[in-house]
Chains A and B, each alone.
Chain A
Amino acid sequence: MSTEFSVIGTRPIRHDGADKVTGRALYGADIQLAGLLHGVVVRSPHAHARILRIDTSKAAAHPAVKAVVTADDFPDTPDRIVDLGEGDTPLSYIRGNVLAKGKTLYRGHAVAAVAATSLHAAEEAAALIEVDYEVLPCTLTAPDAMKPGAPILHEDLRTSELGKTVEGASNVSQHFRHVLGDSEKGFAEADVIVEREFNTATVHQGYIEPHNATALWNNDGRVLVWCSTQGAFVVRDVTACVLDMPVSNVRVTPMEIGGGFGGKIPVYLEPVAALLSKKSGRPVKIVMTRADVFEGSGPTPGSFMRVKIGAKKDGQITAAQAYLAFEAGAYPGAMVGPAGMTVFAAYNIANVTIDGYDVVVNKPSTAAYRAPGAPNAAFATESVVDEVAEKLGIDPIDLRLKNAAKEGTRRADGPKFRKIGCVEVLEAMKNHPHYSAPLEGPNRGRGVAIGFWFNVGLQSSCTIAVTADGTVNLVEGSTDIGGTRTSIAMQAAEVLGIPVADVHPVVEDTDTAGYTAVTGGSRTTFATGMAAHDAAQAVVAKMKERAAKLWEVEASAVTVSRGVFSSNGHSMTFRELAGKLAETGGPVVASATVNPRGAGGSFAGAIVDVEVDPETGKTTILRFTSVQDAGRAIHPAYVEGQMQGGSVQGIGWALNEEYWMSPDGVMKNSSLLDYRMPTALDLPMIDTVIVEVPNPAHPFGVRGVGEANIVPPTPAIANAIHRAVGVRMQRLPMNPPAVMQAIWDQKG
């Protein structure tokens, strides 16, 4: 730990900790309001169907029912293009995913909702809603949906082919291409070329808390929402947009959130609860069931990929090519863009071609999941890189080091890297005792891989008010999913020179906090932390003025070091000075807002040892080490926690998790039993190595650590399985039957 700091790099107990270990913390589903009604959403049993008729009369006649809504209850405004922070989207798509109009596009698509005086009465009433469907053929994977004659989801969707609109309805919303140098020439220079195809299944973020929303359409016309979200302002903006009202008409209170990982950015329930409240005149709470979460929220895309890499005998990669076709789910917006940005980002390659396809299919509309798109892409790239290293007889880390991206390396999608820690991460992997430890015994193997996530900046706000006892109150708008109240407060404390326990951070609603973008993109400790830093600096400047006033000197003559203000022989602590605010001009409050560029991308690596049972194909994780460049670890324990959590999600993705779909588009394993996320018994301890290559664009060097760690596990495990039993797995999940099949195929 650096000694230049007194708070940064320490491991304080989080501010919301006591509430969360005693059961007092209030999550979205915990809210109780006078007259609260319970809402239940009716969902499509078909993956693709025309809605012929919805008859809600029997449900409405149920004695406990107070309101029933369908898409017809949305305001009758014409379609338009809106940008809610994730690019231009037709309003009809946003509304259409909240409540289907005309057609249902996936099994689990919401079609109607009821509100009743109890949950079970609402369930009874929901069963009374009659929907007549004309079942349509469905299409479930990107390659199938791209075929001529495939069932069309949106008659109005046209392909944007390298920027030009193509006539005719299609399931491909976009085809983009990134080109650097001349791939053909690069492959001609190569001594070894490896080209492989990969398939990855749809997977879910798997947060433990289901989506929930409570809304009250107040008698003054304002809509009040309490919910579990990664971004209260996104919920505000989307809800207002769907309901066709000014954003200021909606107040969203973010409750504690039980995990998100990207999946709690989209809005599903809030506008529905609001409409039910409008009709009933009472607050309405809707909580998804676990099956609803799997079938009706946004998983992350399945994908088909082809990656080709050529290298010279000395290991220098001369060319790389990727074909990426990602399943967007029901509406355009697969995470293929980020996949294209990250697929070869770890390497300095002169000749690159990347083709990406965003394809709609009859599955739930996909959402972000921790470095969205990057784990799919890295599974392909890092498997091929491993095979290239094997063919050339070069150590897989050495091969990566030889080609590693550095400051100044240009990515095929355009940006040139500023200071990055790719080499440092690889060196930390190589130097780790795990990498050199002997791995004995049959059917065991060790694999490595690296991954990249670019991280984002986006808007954040922070307000700090000084209290007379020398503490401060810190108001921010970033929902705290994994200890960010504390990582933000620590940055303020460092600037103010006070203990972090003396900073009281609160996450506030959209009427109270300044605009703040989602907790996502590994941005919160970076951007909201930067806002806290800046606000704290403004507080210090004001406090200097107060000291100057007390001591009758110029403010510029007051110096401050670790919370002690000095000038001309005078000296006062922050606390002492805080006690004198009333007499020196009144309260000290400062706010800061940021919209930073220069989010520092983060590299992560994984070293994994596995043992494969050659008779069952089951893979056991024996040892796992996660390495990541944090830039600066503000709270190392929570940085480790991010790395461990991301690694284990990667392990689940690698080994068992998938949407197991029937041919007619029904997810057959929509429970936490059959979806098979890792339990404590499936894992070893997860070792971590935090690398710190400070990000020059952040005052403390923060890069953000939430995401890159999930990128390398799947290929690292695939590479380890190869060394254990000799098979190259080219699909996710690498579950026991798949590995067994690969072993059989290899034996012939």
Chain B
Amino acid sequence: MKWFDYAAPKTVAEATKLLSGGGSVHMLAGGTDLLVQLRVGRKLADLVLDIKKIPELNEIRIGDDGLTLGAAVPCYRIYGDTAVRRGYPALVEVASLIGGTQIQGRASIGGNLCNAAPSADSVPLLIAMGVTCVVAGPNGSRELNVEDFCVAPGKNALGAGELLVSLRFPAPKAHAAAHYLRFIPRNEMDIAVAGAGVAVEMSNGTIRSARVALASVAPTPLFVREAGDFLAGKAASDDNLRAAAELAKSAATPITDMRGPAEYRRHLCAILTRRALEAAVRHAKGGN
């Protein structure tokens, strides 16, 4: 591993300045992806920027408009937060899914997103939940929808000098639920062969709206808008959920690699989407 310098700015302004300062700068939150990538040479850094000392990136704030989750908040703080547990159980579940106990002591949802891996467990859920990304840069801040954040394998939408500050989750609605389900060959410590994140809002026994997104079956986490649109206004029947799951399967364009053959992954998209929808509908109706 080649030499790099280390800096730990304390403000967003300081960070954006260092990010714009030239050379190859990589941000370090939990480090669980970055340090591995630096070690194997997949990324080269002149400067590693430890962004964990910036207050905005470490906050968990719940208001009427929803949850603001600092980009560097480690998973354990998410599932350790009573208010988050109450209002955002699907987020809590996904935070308990990433890596194992030790990884969750460091890894953050923001980092999972910025790493822009197609297999990122949290991202399909964020897409399903309609999360917005708050990005700061040399020219101030901007917001973008999370489904637009990952642009290619390992590449995100951050421009020069920009960093992800926080994620904004809409306030929870009554009769609504989100759920993420992945398939892994082991029971922990594994990368999704495929994953499905869904959110549904129910109204008098029918689905008012739904969103579906997939992991590991496209160059980026994949928002399958048509699957959710199909369900809007329909009964949460077995047939309808299966039909939506088939739409998800049709949208998937997986590759064959060491994590699974393409055809199998496409098949999993239907299975996981259906199962995740079933769970979300159940939760939205107040069940477990």
Question: Which A residues form the contact surface with B (CB < 8 A)?
Answer: 120, 123-124, 291, 615-618, 655-656, 660, 668-669, 673-674, 676, 678-679, 681-682, 735-737, 740-741
Say whether, besides A616-B271, A668-B258, A740-B267, A679 and B189 are in contact (CB < 8 Å): yes
Those of B237-264 within 8 Å (CB) of chain A = 257-261, 264
- Neighbouring B residues of A617 by C-beta, 8 Å: 264
Say whether, besides A120-B3, A123-B1, A655 and B258 are in contact (CB < 8 Å): no
Those of B193-251 within 8 Å (CB) of chain A = 193
Evaluate contact between A741 and B186: CB separation under 8 angstroms. Answer: no
Min C-beta distance of B274 to chain A, whole Å: 9
Q: Is the interface of B mostly helix, strand, loop or mixed?
A: loop
Interface string of B170-208 (1 = CB under 8 A from A): 000000000000010111111101000000000000000
Say whether, besides A656-B185, A737-B264, A120 and B1 are in contact (CB < 8 Å): yes
The answer for the CA separation of A669 and B257 in the assembled complex, in Å, is: 9
> Is the CB of B42 closer than 8 A to any CB of chain A?
no
Evaluate contact between A669 and B258: CB separation under 8 angstroms. Answer: yes
CB-based nearest A residue for B272: A616
Give the residue among B2, B190, B258, B259 with the most A Cβ atoms within 10 A: B258
Say whether, besides A673-B189, A676-B185, A682-B186, A737 and B257 are in contact (CB < 8 Å): no
- Neighbouring A residues of B268 by C-beta, 8 Å: 616
The answer for the CA separation of A243 and B264 in the assembled complex, in Å, is: 51
CB-based nearest A residue for B183: A616
- List 16 A–B pairs whose Cβ atoms lie within 8 Å, in order of A's numbering: A123-B1, A616-B183, A616-B271, A656-B185, A656-B186, A673-B189, A673-B191, A674-B258, A679-B186, A679-B187, A681-B186, A682-B186, A682-B187, A682-B188, A736-B183, A736-B185
- Neighbouring A residues of B187 by C-beta, 8 Å: 679, 681-682
Min C-beta distance of B54 to chain A, whole Å: 28
CB-based nearest B residue for A735: B185
Among candidates B1, B40, B185, B258, residue contacting A618 with C-beta atoms closer than 8 Å: B185
The answer for the CA separation of A735 and B185 in the assembled complex, in Å, is: 7
Evaluate contact between B188 and A674: CB separation under 8 angstroms. Answer: no
CB-based nearest B residue for A670: B258
Size of B's binding interface in residues, CB under 8 A: 23
- Neighbouring A residues of B267 by C-beta, 8 Å: 740
Number of residue pairs spanning A and B whose beta carbons lie under 8 angstroms apart: 54
Min C-beta distance of A746 to chain B, whole Å: 15
- Neighbouring B residues of A674 by C-beta, 8 Å: 191, 258-259
- Neighbouring B residues of A124 by C-beta, 8 Å: 2-3
Q: Which 3 A-B pairs have the closest CB atoms?
A: A660-B258, A669-B258, A737-B264
CB-based nearest A residue for B194: A616
Among candidates A655, A673, A740, residue contacting B190 with C-beta atoms closer than 8 Å: A673
The answer for the CA separation of A249 and B271 in the assembled complex, in Å, is: 64
Sample of 11 more A-B contacts, CB < 8 Å, known A616-B268, A736-B260, A740-B267:
A120-B3, A291-B40, A617-B264, A673-B189, A676-B190, A679-B100, A679-B188, A736-B183, A737-B260, A737-B264, A740-B264
- Neighbouring A residues of B40 by C-beta, 8 Å: 291
Evaluate contact between A668 and B257: CB separation under 8 angstroms. Answer: yes
The answer for the CA separation of A501 and B44 in the assembled complex, in Å, is: 54
The answer for the CA separation of A617 and B194 in the assembled complex, in Å, is: 14
CB-based nearest A residue for B259: A674
Say whether, besides A615-B271, A616-B268, A676 and B186 are in contact (CB < 8 Å): yes
Min C-beta distance of A733 to chain B, whole Å: 9
The answer for the CA separation of A740 and B270 in the assembled complex, in Å, is: 14
Give the residue among B186, B193, B267, B268 with the most A Cβ atoms within 10 A: B186
CB-based nearest B residue for A617: B264
- Neighbouring A residues of B1 by C-beta, 8 Å: 120, 123
CB-based nearest B residue for A620: B187
The answer for the CA separation of A679 and B186 in the assembled complex, in Å, is: 8
- Neighbouring B residues of A682 by C-beta, 8 Å: 186-188
Give the residue among A123, A291, A740 with the most B Cβ atoms within 10 A: A740
- Neighbouring A residues of B2 by C-beta, 8 Å: 120, 124
The answer for the CA separation of A707 and B45 in the assembled complex, in Å, is: 47
The answer for the CA separation of A740 and B260 in the assembled complex, in Å, is: 11
- Neighbouring B residues of A737 by C-beta, 8 Å: 260-261, 264
- Neighbouring A residues of B188 by C-beta, 8 Å: 679, 681-682
Min C-beta distance of B97 to chain A, whole Å: 12
Min C-beta distance of B230 to chain A, whole Å: 21
- Neighbouring B residues of A618 by C-beta, 8 Å: 183, 185
- Neighbouring A residues of B191 by C-beta, 8 Å: 673-674
Min C-beta distance of B231 to chain A, whole Å: 21
Among candidates A123, A615, A678, residue contacting B186 with C-beta atoms closer than 8 Å: A678
